[in-house]
Structure 1
Amino acid sequence: MTELRQTLPADFLDKMSALLGPEAFRAFLESYRHVPKKGLRANTLKAGRDEMVQHIPFKTQPIPWCDTGVYIDAEERPGKQLAYNAGLYYVQEPSAMIPAAALAPRPGERVLDMCAAPGGKTTQLACALENQGLLVANEVVKTRAKVLASNVERMGITNAAITNVRPDQLIDIFGPASFDKILVDAPCSGEGMFRKDPAVAAAWRLENVAQCARRQKKMLETVDILLKPGGALVYSTCTFAPEEDEQIVEYLVQSGKYEAQPITLPGLPDHGRPEWTAHGCEAVKQAVRVMPHRVEGEGHFIAKLKKTAEAPSEVFSKRSRPKKKKRSLWRRASKKDLKDFTAFSETVGLKWHGSDLIIAGDVLIALPEGLYPDQLDRGKWVRPGLEIGTFKKGRFEPAHTFAMALKADQIASVYDFKDEDEAYAYLKGEPIVNAGAHKGWTLMCWLGYPLGWGKASGGTIKNHFPKGLRILKK
C-alpha cells in the first residue's frame, strides 16, 4: 500500500482511516488498485437500452441502479461510434447516474438542474421528462455551459433551457416557488474522484472541505426559495467528507423545512452515517453513500428531501427591477415572420409544430413549455430552447440542433446512408455522391437516426454537418 499512500493526500488518508476503521479502510484503499469501469446510459428519447446495445460493439453489463445504463470496459472508446454521434447514449460514470434516478421527475414537471455541466444528469432528467414540461440547466462557468449545450443538442432534447448565471440569479428569472423538483450536484472537494482523476487528488487540501460546505449551504438557500412546497430536492456530491454530506443533510432537516426521503434504488448497500453528523441526526440514514470498495462506481453521496415549509414571501433582488426597461432581444414570431420557415417546411414535408416560437435577431427558437420571452431578458442564456434555424435573405436554413431533435418519420426528405463508411464520410465533412434524386434540404440518417443536414442537387448532397463537430478519422 506504500505506493498508494504516496499518490493520495496524507490528510485524506488519515481522515478516512479514522472514519472507516481498520478493516474497512484496508478494503477502501485496495479499491484504488482497480481500474474504474465506464458507463453508458441510453438516451430513451431516441432508443431504449436494448436498442442501444444492438448498435455498439462493446461487451455490456447492466448497472443495477439505472435501468437504462450499462457498464463497459475501461479501454473502450464509445465516443468514436456512430451511435454516439446519433445521440443514442451518453457516456457517464456509473454512480453519477444515481442522483437523477433518485429525483425521478415525471413528464410535465418543472425541473432545475442547478449545477448542470457537462450534462450527464441534465440529459438523464430530460429522458425521464420525455421532452415534456420545463427543464432548466444552469452552469455558472461559461466554457462548461457550452459543453453542456453541445451534449443537450446531441441528445435531441427539446424542453431544455440552458442558463449561464449564478444560482441566486435564477430567482430573478423564475421567481420563488417555481420548480417542482431540483437537483443540486454540488461543487465539492471531489474526494470520490481521486481514483478516476489523480489531478483532483493532487489539488485537494483539507481546508477546502470547510470552504465547500459553506458554499453548498449558500447554494441551498437559493434552492429553498426556488423550490415549491411539497417539492423534491436531491442533493449530491462526489466526495466522502461528512462535512459536505451528512452534515449538510442535517443542516436542512434541522431547519424544519425538509424531511429526508428514502432512496430505494437497487445495488446500493451503504447509507448515511448518523455518527458522522454534528448531533447524531438519524434522518441521514435515508441518504445513500457510494463507496468504491462496495460497488462498481466512484465515490458519491446522494440525499433526497421533501420540502415541507410554506412558500416564501416574494423575493427578488434589485436586478429584477431595472430602472429603465430595455428593448428585448426576443420576440414572438408572427405569421409573417414565419413565411420562409413555412415554405421550408412544405418543401421538405416537415411534420413538426413548435408551440411557442420566438425570434432572436435572425434565429428561430422554440421555447419549452412554461418559459416566456419576458423571462429571457433577466439572465444570460446559452440556449433558451430548441434552435430551429436561421433566416437568410429570402430563405430559411435549418439548424443542426433541429436535425438532432427530429425523427425520420417527421420529414419526407430523408437520406439513409448506404453503409457505415458513407456515414463516417459524412461526419468528416465529405459530400455524398451518387445520392439519387434527392433535392434541397435533406435529413441525413444512419439506420433511421438523424446525424445532421445535407443539401442535395444533381445527385450530390452537400455536407452541412457542423465543422466544429467533424471527426478526423473513423
Structure 2
Amino acid sequence: MIRPSQQDARYVAYIVLLRVADGAYSDLALDSELKRSALDQRDRRFVTELVYGVLRLRGRIDFALGCFCNQPLPRLQSEVQWLLRLGAYQLLEMDRVPAHAAVDATVELARKLGLASLTGILNGVLRALDRGRDEIPWPQPQQIRPYLERVCSLPTWLAKEVMRLLPNQQARALGEALAQPARQSVRVNTLKTDRDSFLDLLCAAGHEARRCTFAPEGVVLERRGEQRLQGDEEGLYQVQDEASMLIAHLLDAQPGQRILDACAAPGGKTTHLAALTANQAEIVAVDKSPQRVELIEQGARRLGCNRISAHVWDMTLAADFLIPESFDRVLLDAPCSGIGVLRRNPEGRWNKTAADLRQLAALQQRLLAQTATLVRPGGLLLYSVCSFSHIESNDVIDSFIAEHPNFTLDPLPAQLPAHWASVFAPAGTLRTYPHCHEGMDAFFAARLRRRA
C-alpha cells in the first residue's frame, strides 16, 4: 500500500469523513486535519466543500448511488460507502471537476488506501452514475416527504418534523434552504472598530462583503479573496451568523448591570454583550466544559472584553458563586438539537432522532428553572435555541410560564428597528428561518420578565 499524502485533498476529506462517522464534530475534525496538511488555500477550500457537501447532501447522494449499486449501500463496508459518496458528490454537485477526474481520483485513492479489491465496484458504480445521472427518478416537489428526504437530504424523522410545523410550500422552501451551504458572516467588534472601517479593510484585501440587513454589527462575506480575513489576531471581528447576533440585542443589556450567560461557550454572545455595554457591565459566563470555558477566555482576550469572568459549572445545579436574585439580565442560550444550524453542522442530520428533541426539551426545562432563581425582581431572562422545533421552543416556554407564575412573557424591545418586525412571531418571540430571512440560521428566542 502506498500511503496517501497529506497533500492529497481528497484523502484529507476522506479522513475527516471517517472521523465524523466515528462521532467527531465536522468542524473540529476538519480544522485539525487541515492543520496537519500541507495544502494550499485553494485545496483547503476544496476539502472544506467536499466534507460539508457530502455530509449535508448525504441523503441525496445515497439515493442517487442506490439507483446504480447492485446491493443496498448500507451493506457495503464503511470505507466504500464514504469513497462512493466522495466521488458521487463531485459528479453531481461540482461542475468544475471533470467526471473522469472524479472517478479516477476516487479509484486511485482506494488503491493507495490498500483497498484494491474494491476498486472494481467503485469504478463501476461511479461510471454508471455518470452515464445515468439524467435518468435518476428524483421525487417531484409536490411529493413533499420523498422530496424532503431524497432531494433536500433530510432524514425521515426531520422531514416529518418540518412537515408537522409548516405547510407544504414552506416546508419545501425550508428543506431546500437547509440543503444549501450556509452563508458566511462575521460580527464586527465595536470595542475596536466600526462596521464601515472593517468593510473598507475587507475591500482593500480583495474580499467582497456587505452590511447585514438586521444586525447593526454584521457583515456578510459574499466572495472571499485569496488572502485570509484581515483583523483576526487583532480581534476586529467574530465569526457569527446574523441570527445569533440578534440574540444579545434582545436582552437589552445596559452598562452597570450584572449579566449572566448561563451556557456561554464558545462565547460569541458573551463577547457581544460586552461590546454592547462598552465593557461597562459585569458579565459572568458559565459552561460545564473546562475546554470550552478556555475558548470563552481566549475569545474575551482576543476581542478586548475585560469584564468577563468565566467559570466551569453545570447550570442544572445550584452554584455557590451565583447569588440568587442577583442578576439584572440572564441569557440562557440552551443546549439544543441544532437543527436550525444544520448547514454549518451537517452531521447533526444523521446523528440525532426525534427522541433527542424530547430529551433536550427536558434538559432545557431544568436549565430554565435553575437560571430563573438568579434573576432579580424586575429583571430579564432570555431563552434562545438554534432550533425551529416547537418541542424546544414554544412548548418549553409555555411549560415554564405555567410552572413559574412570577415570570411573564415580555414583549421584545420597542426600541429595536422597525424592519426587525419580520423576525418576530405573533406571540412576541423571535423566530428566524433561512428561507424567509435572507439566509440567516433558524433561531428562536423568548424574553421573560420576573415580576417586581
Which TM-score tier does this pair reach, normalised by the shorter chain? 0.5 to 0.7
Matching residue's letter, 1:184: L
Deviation at 1:77, TM superposition (A): 8.4
**Are 2:210 and 2:222, in contact at CA under 8 Å, matched by a contact in 1?**
no
DSSP-derived class of the 1:66 partner: coil
2:241 is aligned to 93
Measure, in 2, the Cα distance between the counterparts of 1:161 and 1:76. 37
CA offsets 1:428-467 (integer angstroms, 9 cap, x no match): xxxxxxxxxxxxxxxxxxxxxxxxxxxxxxxxxxxxxxxx
1:59 is aligned to 208
**Are 1:171 and 1:225, in contact at CA under 8 Å, matched by a contact in 2?**
no
- 5 Å matches for 1:121-136? 121-136=269-284
CA offsets 1:25-83 (integer angstroms, 9 cap, x no match): 121122134332111111111111122222223322222321111111375689x3341
Matching residue's letter, 1:291: Y
1:317 is aligned to none
1:241 is aligned to 389
1:198 is aligned to 346
Q: 1:261 aligns with which of 410, 425, 429?
A: 410
Higher relative contact order (CA 8 A, sep 6+): 1
Q: 1:109 aligns with which of 253, 257, 263?
A: 257
**Are 2:327 and 2:376, in contact at CA under 8 Å, matched by a contact in 1?**
yes
Question: Structure 1 residues 104 and 74, CA, compared in 2 at 3 Å: closer, same or farther?
Answer: farther
DSSP-derived class of the 2:436 partner: coil
Structure 1 unaligned segments of length 5 or more: list them.
274-284, 311-474
Measure, in 2, the Cα distance between the counterparts of 1:10 and 1:268. 33
Deviation at 1:306, TM superposition (A): 1.1
1:307 is aligned to 450
**2:202 aligned with 1:43, yes or no?**
no
TM-score w.r.t. length of structure 1 = 0.59
Deviation at 1:268, TM superposition (A): 5.3
Matching residue's letter, 2:434: P
**Are 1:36 and 1:74, in contact at CA under 8 Å, matched by a contact in 2?**
no
Measure, in 2, the Cα distance between the counterparts of 1:190 and 1:145. 20
**Are 1:38 and 1:94, in contact at CA under 8 Å, matched by a contact in 2?**
no
DSSP-derived class of the 1:234 partner: strand
Matching residue's letter, 2:209: T
**Are 1:36 and 1:196, in contact at CA under 8 Å, matched by a contact in 2?**
yes
Measure, in 1, the Cα distance between the counterparts of 2:289 and 2:240. 20
Measure, in 1, the Cα distance between the counterparts of 2:406 and 2:212. 34
Q: C-alpha root-mean-square deviation of aligned residues, in Å?
A: 2.1
2:366 is aligned to 218
**2:156 aligned with 1:10, yes or no?**
yes
Question: Structure 1 residues 15 and 81, CA, compared in 2 at 3 Å: closer, same or farther?
Answer: closer
Measure, in 1, the Cα distance between the counterparts of 2:177 and 2:156. 17
DSSP-derived class of the 1:28 partner: helix
Aligned residue pairs: how many?
Answer: 297
Measure, in 2, the Cα distance between the counterparts of 1:166 and 1:77. 42
Matching residue's letter, 1:50: D
Instruction: State the percentage of identical aligned residues.
Output: 28
Measure, in 2, the Cα distance between the counterparts of 1:82 and 1:24. 38
Matching residue's letter, 1:294: C
2:134 is aligned to none
**Are 2:187 and 2:237, in contact at CA under 8 Å, matched by a contact in 1?**
yes
Q: 1:140 aligns with which of 278, 288, 291?
A: 288
Q: 2:297 aligns with which of 140, 143, 149?
A: 149
Instruction: Select the structure that is richer in strand.
Output: 1
Deviation at 1:170, TM superposition (A): 5.8
DSSP-derived class of the 1:60 partner: strand
CA offsets 1:235-270 (integer angstroms, 9 cap, x no match): 100111111101112123323122222334534525
**Are 2:338 and 2:386, in contact at CA under 8 Å, matched by a contact in 1?**
yes
Measure, in 1, the Cα distance between the counterparts of 2:388 and 2:287. 23
Deviation at 1:4, TM superposition (A): 5.3
Q: 2:307 aligns with which of 149, 152, 159?
A: 159
Measure, in 2, the Cα distance between the counterparts of 1:125 and 1:40. 15
2:434 is aligned to 292
DSSP-derived class of the 2:380 partner: strand
2:102 is aligned to none
1:72 is aligned to 221
Measure, in 2, the Cα distance between the counterparts of 1:65 and 1:111. 24
DSSP-derived class of the 1:250 partner: helix
Matching residue's letter, 1:13: A
Measure, in 2, the Cα distance between the counterparts of 1:76 and 1:91. 17
2:331 is aligned to 183
TM-score w.r.t. length of structure 2 = 0.62
Question: Structure 1 residues 20 and 4, CA, compared in 2 at 3 Å: closer, same or farther?
Answer: closer
1:443 is aligned to none
Question: Structure 1 residues 271 and 133, CA, compared in 2 at 3 Å: closer, same or farther?
Answer: closer
DSSP-derived class of the 2:431 partner: strand
